[in-house]
Structure 1
Amino acid sequence: MRWDLDPFFGLFEDNIAPAPTPPPEKGKNSCDRKIPIGVVVGITGVLTFVISMLLSLGVALCIRRKAHQENGNESESRTTYGTAPPDIVADDITTSGSYQFDFREIEAATCNFQKSNKLGHGGFGEGTFQNGTEVAVKRLSTNSGQGEQEFKNEVLLVAKLQHRNLVRLLGFSVEGAERILVYEFVPNKSLNYFLFDPVKRSQLDWRKRYNIITGIMLYLHQDSRLTVVHRDLKASNILLDVDMNPKIADFGLARNFRMNQTEANTGRVVGTVGYMPPEYVANGQFSMKSDVYSFGVLILEIIGGKKNSSFHKIDGSLRNLVTYVWRLWNNESLLELVDPAVGENYDKHEVTRCIHIGLLCVQENPADRPTMSTIFQMLTNTSITLHVPQPPGFFFRDGASPLAEGLTIGQSSIMSFACSVDDASITSVNPR
């Protein structure tokens, strides 16, 4: 067989291709012309894109409007205590991993919040669950000034904090207007339960008082993960465990500072009179030096067994606690501050050094106050020379400053601006 590679031209000579379509004649209607496919595809794509953009914009506007309404409702619900729906409050908090107790369970544990179960003069009460677990229960009253935001703040913040000198939060409960916090039980109640009681104060010898001072300082100095300004350090918020070790409680007013943040301002000054530094009362400015001031007041209270809100006679006139101690400093008689219940069994040099540190903490200018790390060094290293303190905040001079006069207690025990001197209360002060 033989293959022929010549082309087969002749086979298809009769199949001639048709002639091309002649162009349309002039004068005919242009609508008879065909639109190229590319143009049709282009127009369709543009229309699809425009419609998609309009739909996306509409959806975005709807979502934004809905979010704005929800934020407005949430903000409005926080303006008055107890107005936020309980399920919303609980849902916000449970995301932190905190346990929610049934309110009836807490009522039963506290015998319907009997006053006999109250722990000291603060807002804490004792309770026992059916399984025998003892707890400390904090019940927020509707007139406490602590609202939804403070309640959430305390639960969320304490859940993040970890320190052996903090009261451990076990959970919370929300029922109607009721807001309950459940903490680990501390058998010796609060510091003020012992410190300001004429009989029980004798149980606090100097070594116990010194350990309480250093225990509070360790929390303020060593909390590693967060920079927190407590803003309400006071004797009633220091709970004592079975060994009389301090446990700091009540973080409803606390603020968590961002990294590298050193201070903040607020138009709503809250706290307890006597423990708040002057720059906070006057201008709403707070920082870690605010807690340093409160810590200094606590040192003077613990050593003297005297409330900062009480007045003491010296040099022929009544003075508040920080002014009283400042006068003792100038008279070189600091040991007169020591609570007689302590007795004579104490290290005079150690006590004098602690009073000196307390005066450094309550200086009027926050820049003059030491940091907590410096206080740690001063308390643990006696070879460090202490600076001479400057006059304290709220120092009652012969011609008292307007701010000091604003804190003067009259016969009616009413302050000249809207705040309470009750250590158990959370006060609200309008900055002047």
Structure 2
Amino acid sequence: MKLSTSLFAIFWFLTTLHSVSAQTCFNGYFKLNSTYDLSRRQIFSTLASNVTTHNGLYTTELGQNEDRIFIIGMCIPGTEPQHCSDCIKSTSDGLLRACPNETVGYAWPDVCMVRYSNISFSGSAIMEPSQNVSNSKPIGVNLTLFDIVWEELMLRTVTAASSGSRGSSGHKYYAAEVAELTPFQTIYSMMQCTPDVSSGNCEFCLKETVRDYNACCRGHIGGAYVRPFCFIRWDLYPFTEAFNRANSTSEDGKTISTVAIVGIVVPIFVILVVLAVGLLVCRRKKQYQNIKVQGGDEITTTHSLQFSFKEIETATDNFADSNVIGRGGFGVVYRGLLSNGTEVAVKRLSKTSGQGAQEFKNEAVLVTKLQHKNLVRPLGFCLEGEEKILVYEFVPNKSLDYFLFDPIKQGELDWTRRYNIIGGTARGLLYLHQDSRLTIIHRDLKASNILLDADMNPKIADFGMARIFGVDQSQANTSRIVGTYGYMSPEYLMHGHFSMKSDVYSFGVLVLEIISGKKCSSLYHIDEFSGNLVTHAWRLWKAGSPLELVDPTIVDSCESNEAIRCIHIALLCVQEDPADRPMLPAIVMMLTSSTATLHVPRAPGTFLSSRCDSVSNCLESTQSKSRSIPGSINDVTISALDPR
């Protein structure tokens, strides 16, 4: 049975993902039969045996000065020695053929890896050139369900692989994980980094690679993506021996003897006793340990994320006014260009931040770890003197409001794009609320905080700013009301109560804006009654004509059933009682499954219509708590972060 499984795996690999092992050659040339050429051939001739005799990992160097060559060869942990040797041999031979006189090259099939260079790459975080390959056949299941399971598995595998803990094989950065997709399908995932890089660089490389793979090959059946020091591979069958061993564990377990059981149970009992004692000691040293974790263990990651002030000055042309792309309560945002050609957005925080240097660094690192395709990607930070700066990916298509509320540009947002923006925003918000390492309440979700990438995919911006800026967000009640009027839930605007349901209310308002192409603050006069977008949508719903809410520019081309369902979901999100609003997992399910049952909405909660005669009167009651302007409590983002 094991033989047939192995043969099937090899056949599948050869027929679907063979190009992942293609050799990559770059960075200059050497003369054939030169000292460098002969040294490379000499090392390659014995590399397979050296890797297998060194427990699957071998690094070496040979030569002097310009003739010096550095080589690494490794196999995934647990690979059978003969299988490992065969892979290293074929990969080395392939590099000799494909890179006859190139000074740098690597190849990384899913069993082994070989890399050589004329420059030491130990600890180097060079991520290019890269390769990807996938089976373009559709996955064959609900894509939203697949995305949720796949992304959770990828995040779990990245975390396990980049933890830096050494297994019995001695390999620091490696993980093989599984997740059930359906009762009949399982996703298998494997990731690895070379052992010479830091844990932070390994994590960053794997996350970037997952993101890039998803951008090119989302929904395909199986795939791989390789870089000079990190590798990811996933499929719907156990493509490595590690998965075969995991599957056989339950079968072989029936033959475990009583002695073996005792041998397992007794050490576990001893470990539990030791852990119990350790917990008592840890409680006494909790404060000290917290300081050490924040100031010590994060340093490796922090170093890889930190930019110098000189780099930022150069990137923004010394913070030129011509590069300003936004201003807010937290500071000014500049467009920048890094030395490697990467466009970035640079948020230079105002000097009124309440954070100390170490606190800012800790919070910036936490936020930088939040990675999702529907979030604007944090790249790092700068901390020098009084300067506190955050660096983000540059999103080219500006914000949603730039298109949505412009009579000319809103035509570029057809129904398909609007529906995609609604779904993507929901998935990003679900990640912030439930799937990230922290529970994050955005508290200022609005059209101007939804950025659009080159393909018009949504990315939520300005999450996590509260902790970075030093605002106390430890309580679910606040006397400092911050956010944007019209998007804020009644309980938050009236009493300062915020929760995940506050973001749900904002999301409902945003959905109504996306469908109608109108701002939430727009006033409607019907039958001598004035109301905003929420109350207008409710009246149309009660009258049985919800499609009258749809933007006239797309009303003829939109899917009416989808539009009505989105309006229905939005009205559920803006319910008066927070308990009546759905949570994000339910919202995502309702958006993606036409069979999901939707409750009948009640009259929505609108602060304007039920409690105030005018916006200015509403705001007067909060003036003693927070400085405000008509129509906006504070046009900046405040987010609440609490450890899970």
Deviation at 1:237, TM superposition (A): 1.6
Deviation sequence 1:285-312 (CA, Å, 0-9, x none): 2221111111111101111122223323
Structure 2 equivalent of residue 425 of structure 1: 635
SS of 1:180 mapped into structure 2:
strand
Question: Of residues 433, 436, 441 in structure 2, which corresponds to 1:229?
Answer: 441
Contact 2:577 2:605 in 1 (8 A): yes
User: Where do 5+ consecutive residues of structure 2 fail to align?
Assistant: 1-287, 469-474, 639-644
TM-score when scaled to structure 1?
Answer: 0.66
AA aligned opposite 2:574: V
Deviation at 1:264, TM superposition (A): 2.6
SS of 1:163 mapped into structure 2:
coil
1:125–1:422: structure 2 CA closer, same or farther, 3 Å change rule?
farther
Question: Of residues 141, 164, 174 in structure 1, which corresponds to 2:373?
Answer: 164
Deviation at 1:250, TM superposition (A): 0.9
Deviation at 1:360, TM superposition (A): 0.5
Deviation at 1:365, TM superposition (A): 0.6
1:100–1:170: structure 2 CA closer, same or farther, 3 Å change rule?
same
Contact 1:127 1:135 in 2 (8 A): yes
Does 1:285 find its partner at 2:497?
yes
Name the CA distance, whole Å, in 1 between partners of 2:582 and 2:509.
Answer: 14
Does 1:129 find its partner at 2:335?
no
Deviation at 1:96, TM superposition (A): 5.7
1:243–1:137: structure 2 CA closer, same or farther, 3 Å change rule?
same
RMSD after superposition = 3.6
Deviation sequence 1:87-128 (CA, Å, 0-9, x none): xx9999967626222334323322344455444787643211
Does 1:189 find its partner at 2:395?
no
Question: Of residues 355, 369, 373 in structure 2, which corresponds to 1:148?
Answer: 355
SS of 2:340 mapped into structure 1:
coil
Structure 1 equivalent of residue 315 of structure 2: 109
Name the CA distance, whole Å, in 2 between partners of 1:251 and 1:92.
Answer: 24
SS of 1:265 mapped into structure 2:
coil
Does 1:384 find its partner at 2:591?
no
Select the structure of larger CA radius of gyration: 1
Contact 1:296 1:357 in 2 (8 A): yes
Deviation at 1:169, TM superposition (A): 1.0
Structure 1 equivalent of residue 261 of structure 2: none
SS of 1:244 mapped into structure 2:
coil
Identity of aligned residues (%): 57
1:170–1:281: structure 2 CA closer, same or farther, 3 Å change rule?
same
Does 1:211 find its partner at 2:420?
yes
AA aligned opposite 1:425: D
Contact 2:444 2:637 in 1 (8 A): no
Please identify which structure carries the higher strand content: 2
Deviation at 1:137, TM superposition (A): 1.8
Does 1:394 find its partner at 2:592?
no
AA aligned opposite 2:348: R
Contact 1:101 1:172 in 2 (8 A): yes
User: Where do 5+ consecutive residues of structure 1 fail to align?
Assistant: 1-66, 72-88, 257-262
Deviation sequence 1:200-233 (CA, Å, 0-9, x none): 2211111001001000111223452433222221
1:341–1:225: structure 2 CA closer, same or farther, 3 Å change rule?
same
Deviation at 1:253, TM superposition (A): 4.5
1:415–1:129: structure 2 CA closer, same or farther, 3 Å change rule?
farther
AA aligned opposite 1:174: L
| 1:267-416 superposed matches below 5 A | 267-394=479-606, 396-397=608-609, 400-401=610-611, 404-405=612-613, 408-409=615-616
Name the CA distance, whole Å, in 1 between partners of 2:597 and 2:444.
Answer: 30
Name the CA distance, whole Å, in 1 between partners of 2:585 and 2:442.
Answer: 17
Name the CA distance, whole Å, in 2 between partners of 1:302 and 1:409.
Answer: 26
SS of 1:303 mapped into structure 2:
helix
SS of 1:162 mapped into structure 2:
coil
1:131–1:269: structure 2 CA closer, same or farther, 3 Å change rule?
same
Contact 2:538 2:603 in 1 (8 A): yes
Contact 2:361 2:383 in 1 (8 A): no
Deviation sequence 1:355-411 (CA, Å, 0-9, x none): 1110100111100101111112211111233222122222544xx31xx44x6158x
AA aligned opposite 2:556: E
Deviation at 1:134, TM superposition (A): 0.6
Contact 1:323 1:395 in 2 (8 A): no
SS of 2:398 mapped into structure 1:
coil
AA aligned opposite 2:435: S
SS of 1:197 mapped into structure 2:
coil
Does 1:220 find its partner at 2:429?
yes
1:309–1:120: structure 2 CA closer, same or farther, 3 Å change rule?
farther
TM-score when scaled to structure 2?
Answer: 0.46
Contact 2:465 2:637 in 1 (8 A): no
AA aligned opposite 2:430: H
SS of 1:268 mapped into structure 2:
coil
Deviation sequence 1:133-172 (CA, Å, 0-9, x none): 11122233457xx653896686243223232212221111
Higher relative contact order (CA 8 A, sep 6+): 1
Structure 2 equivalent of residue 100 of structure 1: 306
1:90–1:114: structure 2 CA closer, same or farther, 3 Å change rule?
farther
Name the CA distance, whole Å, in 2 between partners of 1:189 and 1:306.
Answer: 18
Deviation sequence 1:316-355 (CA, Å, 0-9, x none): 3432221221222222222222222325111111101101
SS of 1:148 mapped into structure 2:
coil
1:209–1:414: structure 2 CA closer, same or farther, 3 Å change rule?
farther
AA aligned opposite 2:306: Q
SS of 1:166 mapped into structure 2:
coil
SS of 2:553 mapped into structure 1:
helix
Name the CA distance, whole Å, in 2 between partners of 1:183 and 1:90.
Answer: 23
